[in-house]
Amino acid sequence: MIELTGVTKTYPDGTVAVDDFSAQFPPHKTTVLLGSSGSGKTTILRMVNRMVDATSGTITIDGDDIADRDPVKLRRSIGYVMQNGGLLPHRSVLDNIATVPLLNGVSKASAHARARELMDLVGLDAKMAKRYPAQLSGGQQQRVGVARGLAADPNILLMDEPFGAVDPLVRAELQDELLRIQHTLAKTIVFVTHDVEEALRLGDQIILLAEGGHIAQRGTGPELLGAPASPFVADFLGLDRGSRALFDHDGVLVDAFGRAAGVLTQDASA
Ligand SMILES: Nc1ncnc2c1ncn2[C@@H]1O[C@H](COP(=O)(O)OP(=O)(O)OP(=O)(O)O)[C@@H](O)[C@H]1O
């Protein structure tokens, strides 16, 4: 369990990116931080592995305060996948995937063997192993990024808009792959996106953020869709724009395409 309590981040120029944020990211589940640009999603994510240090508040992982952990060791124990893969351009696919295990002192032979297994897991053809990032499509680069994030077999995987830079079809494919991988590996995933469809597809829990990391609403996708807490939430989810509107059929919520999206509680349907 990752727990953030009263966490604030003020950058040196005075920008309060995150103001008094508290939340839990449960183990083996995917939590999506959803919000528009500048709402503090990346800052929250980076505070979990101490790429950014919180100004105040507490962050614990399984009860241990991360402020007491060595930041470099902490960072290497947590998978991190960023937009555009963040790959090292002059290293082969295999070396990119093996980066963290090699830093952790794993032998090159076993790091590469593990990297080949991960290539298979994320759906990359083995013949790509010796290629350089520039010789891959955007979608393939993202797969390498996911494999690299998983290479040290971390319990926690932080993903910062990992599929933001690819076209919608490839994006849907990558989302499917992630769902498949997560079904097998059950990592604790924190996934940042500003894309509502992506959040609804991937999130066991969605935390919708307004500016300053203020929580507009948290819950499952159907909970947010079925009972948006404010006009801001309804607007962000696009509930006023038709396609995502929900209709009540005897207590079962269905979307505009007739797909079940949730169940109304007794009170809400009364
Ligand atoms: N190093 C920094 N110094 C000063 N301000 C920063 C820094 N990094 C981020 N900010 C500011 O903090 C706020 C939150 O930024 P953050 O990147 O966390 O938001 P975000 O929701 O992830 O946005 P995006 O979707 O655009 O990545 C923004 O106002 C941003 O300009």
Nearest CA to ligand 1 atom 31: 38
Supply the pLDDT for residue 84: 76
DSSP type of residue 100: H
Residue 266 clears pLDDT 90, i.e. is over it: no
pLDDT in tens, 55-85: 999 999 999 999 999 999 999 999 999 887 7
Q: Which helix (H) or strand (E) holds 40?
A: none
Q: What is the ipTM of this complex?
A: 0.95
Question: What pLDDT, on the 0 to 100 scale, is given for residue 270?
Answer: 36
Task: Identify the residue whose C-alpha is closest to ligand 1 atom 10.
Answer: 17
Q: What is the pLDDT of residue 248?
A: 59
Tell me the best of 13, 42, 208, 211 to mutate to test the pocket of ligand 1, counting ligand atoms within 8 Å of each CB and taking the most: 42
Q: How high is the pLDDT of residue 85?
A: 75
What integer pLDDT is reported at residue 33 of this predicted model? 98
244: helix, strand or coil = coil
Pairing type for strands 247-249 and 30-35 reads unpaired
- Give CA 8 to chain center in angstroms: 20
How many angstroms separate the Cα of 27 from the Cα of each of 40, 146, 209? 22, 19, 21
User: Number of C-alpha atoms within 13 angstroms, CB side, residue 199?
Assistant: 27
Pocket test for ligand 1, best of 4, 8, 11, 193 (most atoms within 8 A of CB): 11
Query: Could you tell me where in the chain the CATH 3.40.50.300 domains are found?
Result: 2-241
Quick: pLDDT tens for 107-144.
999 999 999 999 999 999 999 999 999 999 999 999 99
Report whether pLDDT(268) > 50. Answer: no
Q: What is the pLDDT of residues 154-213, one digit of tens each?
A: 999 999 999 988 888 889 999 999 999 999 999 999 999 999 999 999 999 999 999 999
- 214 CA from centroid of ligand 1 (Å): 14
84 burial (CB, 10 Å; 0-12 / 13-18 / 19+) is middle
Task: Encode pLDDT of 230-265 as tens digits.
Answer: 999 999 998 876 556 555 556 666 665 566 666 665
Residue owning the nearest CA to atom 12 of ligand 1: 17
CA distances from 194 to 39, 128, 166, 229, 259 (A): 10, 31, 14, 18, 23
Q: How far is the CA of 106 from the centre of ligand 1 (A)?
A: 35
Residue identified by tokens 């955007």 is 138
Residues with CB under 6 A from ligand 1: 11, 13, 15, 17, 35, 37-43, 194
State the pLDDT at residue 167: 87
Q: What is the pLDDT of residue 190?
A: 98
- pLDDT tens sequence across 5-60: 999 999 999 999 999 999 999 999 999 999 989 999 999 999 999 999 999 999 99
Other Cβ atoms within 10 Å of 175 Cβ, number: 17
Ligand 1 atom closest to Cα of residue 194: 25
Q: Is the pTM of this model over 0.80?
A: yes
Which atom belonging to ligand 1 lies closest to the Cα atom of 33? Answer: 21
55 touches 207 (CB < 8 A): no
Which atom of ligand 1 is nearest to 209's Cα?
A: 21
Q: How far is the CA of 210 from the centre of ligand 1 (A)?
A: 13
Q: What is the pLDDT of residue 217?
A: 97
- Tokens 């499917």 -> residue: 176
Cα(first)–Cα(last) distance of the chain, in Å? 36
Q: What is the CATH number of domain 2-241?
A: 3.40.50.300
